[in-house]
Structure 1
Amino acid sequence: MDYELRIIADCPNSAAALDLFVQVLAAEGVEGDVVVVELGSEEQAQTLGFHGSPSFIASGMDLFPSSAAPALTCRLYRHAGGLAGLPSPEDLKAAVQRVSVRP
């Protein structure tokens, strides 16, 4: 499975998102690299169905599907206590587990 972290320039959560993704994948025993893809145009956002930075991608699929319109923007993730710029480690782990059991 291929993993990507899709970001926009100057996203304040990019470095923390990459660290989180790598840590969760390692904890799940996933080997391989996370490719960081920096989007620079609204056209790219539309083509890739990009719903904000950072986006966690497995084999081309957003691990946190969104009904928001694709756009070059920051992304927020829902937590029990509100919204944050990153998913919780538990939510990312659960998302990775969901895609790794798919046929």
Structure 2
Amino acid sequence: MKMELLHIVGCPYTDIAEANARAALDALGLGAVPIELVTIRTEEEAENTRFGGSPTILVDGVDLFPTAPVRSLVCLCQVYATESGFAGEPTQEQIEAALRGASR
């Protein structure tokens, strides 16, 4: 399994998303899976990846929380609907559920 966390420079949600993803992997017994941080710096990079906004979590190239791809770095943030309202990153529980679904 390959997990990538796509983000832009200075995204305030990157660290939290990475921590939540790590906790989810650990909870599912996948602690050996590394999380590769991929910085999206240009519109071309955004266009050539499955970048859905910062942060985007990919597993084996598939977005765990699919959205329309970002084609411009003008609109950078991805918004996640959580139990406590909208947030800049998915919760550990959401990532765990998405990983369970991805493994089917």
TM-score (norm 1): 0.89
Q: 2:48 maps to which residue? A: 47
Q: 1:95 maps to which residue? A: 98
Deviation at 1:68, TM superposition (A): 5.4
**Worse-matched range after superposition: 48-57 or 78-87:** 78-87
| Unaligned runs of at least 5 residues, structure 2 | none
8 Å contact kept, 1:8–1:39: yes
Q: Deviations over 1:22-59 (max 9, x none)?
A: 11001111122101000100111011131111111100
- Using the aligned pairs only, state the percent identity: 34
Q: 1:23 maps to which residue? A: 23
| Unaligned runs of at least 5 residues, structure 1 | none
Aligned length: 101
TM-score (norm 2): 0.88
SS at match of 2:22: helix
Question: How many Å separate the matches in 1 of 2:84 and 2:15?
Answer: 23
Question: How many Å separate the matches in 1 of 2:21 and 2:72?
Answer: 22
